[in-house]
């Protein structure tokens, strides 16, 4: 069946074996998809979503009932008091920046309890010197590394019981770190332990890549605020840009005034015709995330049986949509990413190469034949060019397209 796509018989046979042996894992994903779909449908009906909410505003964006109702829907889906869902957010990194600057003041200390955050936060925190960083505003940063892929709870408790930490940051996904992503039960456990000794500290979760992967979200297990991108999970492949912040009402008010202006906050922000795409994307998100997870599990099975180290294994509990593949050398890494590009619907004739990407210290290769530029809920694969040469793959709007892209990547690398 795949010969016209350039896939040889050996790889096709392995794909057939994989799908036969993955039925149990796929069934688990389908069950979670149904539960998350029920969450979304209930929120739509509770807030009486109608065609009027697809409206568009320009200029200041006063009285945009679509925007305001979307934020109620997101809050309900995520079990939050309030949310800020805006096209004015450029990325998940931008939303995290807004949340951090909203919550922290000069003299405060931020503590990451899962090691160093994602590379693009280096300049925001001040790990990389930058005149606009938190460090430049006299906001201090500390971190506690994970211990054996779990929170180092004794160290965390020892530090936070001193009560001079203003905000704790938890990054659910691995970023470019070679660690496991953090499941909701691990996050729930560490939050419960922190609350035994410190009720005041703000607990923020970077939830990028994690939404709808499991049946609960961070706010449901005690986080105060969470952040994510709409060109990842909750955008469902339809939102063309934007991000969200959800959580406590007082913290969302601070974030809104940081995004717009003090005294204006959530009352302004034109939607410019994006409301329908955001709503329809959220509606589709449980199914799209399920497709991404199936693509990741298929990839894990295939690559492990071809002799590569993968994480997570195909039958392990997942906390995000990211699949890592340790390819061992730069040539295979580049070829795999180029194969993902060649297996895409958009820009399939383009050939990605490593380059000096803004916000990263290493050269990075990024493959994404996406309808929305940079969308990583669509099948994509990227990697910093550094040992041990690990590919970070995510996305797949449908499992079928995801599978085809992965088969093309494997064939390209094996040629």
DSSP 116-177: S--GGGHHHHTSS--TTSTGGGT-EEEE---BTTB--HHHHHHHHTT----EEEEE-S-TTS
For range 175-189, the mean pLDDT: 93
- Angle (nearest 5°) at CA 327 between 323 and 330: 120
pLDDT for 69 equals 98
| Residues whose CB falls within 8 Å of the CB of residue 20, separated by 6 or more in sequence, listed in order | none
**Dihedral (Cα; 66, 72, 78, 84), 10-degree rounding:** 70
Residue ranges of domains in the chain, CATH in brackets: 3-37+283-414 (3.90.1150.60), 49-281 (3.40.640.10)
**How many other CB atoms are found less than 10 A from the CB of residue 232?**
31
For range 266-295, the mean pLDDT: 98
Distance CA 247, CA 44 (A): 19
For range 289-300, the mean pLDDT: 98
pLDDT at 3 over 80: yes
For range 93-119, the mean pLDDT: 97
The mean predicted confidence, pLDDT, of the chain is 96
For range 28-44, the mean pLDDT: 98
Helices (H), 161-306: 184-197, 249-259, 275-305
DSSP structure class, residue 230:
T
Question: Crossing angle, helix 275-305 and helix 9-21, to 10 degrees?
Answer: 110
Taken in order 237, 239, 240, 245, the sign of the CA dihedral is negative
Share of the chain above pLDDT 90, in %: 95
Q: Which of 3, 7, 22 is nearest to 305 (CA)?
A: 22
In which residue are the tokens 């955008």 written?
235
Distance CA 288, CA 275 (A): 19
Q: Which of 338, 412, 402 is nearest to 376 (CA)?
A: 402
Segment 326-372, tens digit of pLDDT: 999 999 999 999 999 999 999 999 999 999 988 778 899 999 999 99
pLDDT at 373 over 80: yes
pLDDT at 176 over 90: no
pLDDT for 209 equals 97
pLDDT for 178 equals 85
What is the pTM (predicted TM-score) of this model? 0.96
Segment 398-412, tens digit of pLDDT: 999 999 999 999 999
For range 74-94, the mean pLDDT: 98
Share of the chain above pLDDT 70, in %: 100
pLDDT at 160 over 90: yes
pLDDT for 119 equals 87
- Segment among 55-59, 174-178, 341-345, 390-394 with least mean pLDDT: 174-178
Between 251 and 4, residue with greater pLDDT: 251
pLDDT for 189 equals 98
pLDDT for 359 equals 74
309-311/109-112 β-pairing: unpaired
pLDDT at 241 over 90: yes
């Amino acid at each position: 069946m795949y010969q016209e796509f350039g896939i040889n018989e050996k790889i096709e046979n392995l794909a057939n074996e994989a799908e036969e042996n993955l039925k149990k894992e796929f069934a688990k994903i389908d069950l979670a998809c149904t539960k998350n779909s029920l969450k979304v449908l209930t929120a739509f009906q509770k807030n009486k979503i109608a065609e009027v909410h697809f409206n568009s505003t320009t200029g200041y964006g006063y009285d945009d009932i679509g925007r305001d109702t979307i934020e109620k829907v997101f809050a309900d889906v995520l079990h939050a008091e309030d949310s800020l869902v805006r096209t004015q957010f450029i990325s998940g990194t931008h939303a995290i920046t807004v949340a951090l600057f909203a919550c922290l003041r000069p003299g405060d200390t931020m503590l990451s309890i899962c090691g160093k955050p994602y590379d693009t936060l280096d300049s925001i925190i001040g790990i990389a010197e930058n005149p606009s960083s938190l460090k430049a505003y006299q906001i201090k940063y500390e971190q506690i590394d994970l211990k054996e892929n779990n929170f180092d709870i004794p160290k965390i408790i020892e530090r936070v019981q001193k009560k001079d930490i203003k905000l704790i940051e938890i990054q659910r996904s691995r970023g470019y770190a070679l660690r496991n992503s953090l499941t909701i039960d691990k996050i729930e456990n560490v939050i419960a332990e922190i609350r035994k000794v410190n009720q005041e500290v703000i607990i923020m979760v970077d939830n990028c890549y994690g939404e709808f992967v499991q049946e609960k979200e961070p706010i449901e297990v005690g986080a105060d605020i969470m952040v994510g991108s709409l060109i990842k999970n909750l955008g469902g492949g339809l939102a063309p840009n934007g991000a969200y912040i959800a959580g406590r009402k007082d913290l969302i008010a601070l974030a809104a005034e940081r995004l717009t202006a003090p005294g204006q906050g959530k009352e302004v922000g034109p939607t410019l015709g994006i409301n329908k795409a955001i709503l329809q994307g959220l509606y589709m998100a449980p199914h799209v995330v399920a497709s991404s997870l199936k693509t990741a599990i298929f990839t894990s099975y295939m690559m492990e049986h071809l002799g590569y180290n993968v994480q997570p294994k195909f039958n392990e509990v997942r906390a995000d949509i990211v699949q890592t593949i340790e390819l061992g050398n730069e040539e295979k890494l580049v070829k795999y990413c180029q194969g993902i590009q060649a297996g895409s619907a958009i820009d399939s004739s383009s050939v990605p190469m490593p380059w000096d990407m803004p916000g990263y210290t290493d050269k990075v290769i990024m493959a994404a034949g996406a309808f929305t530029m940079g969308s990583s809920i669509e099948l994509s694969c990227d990697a910093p060019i550094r040992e041990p040469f690990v590919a970070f793959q995510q996305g797949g709007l449908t499992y079928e397209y995801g599978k085809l892209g992965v088969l093309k990547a494997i064939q390209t690398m094996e040629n």
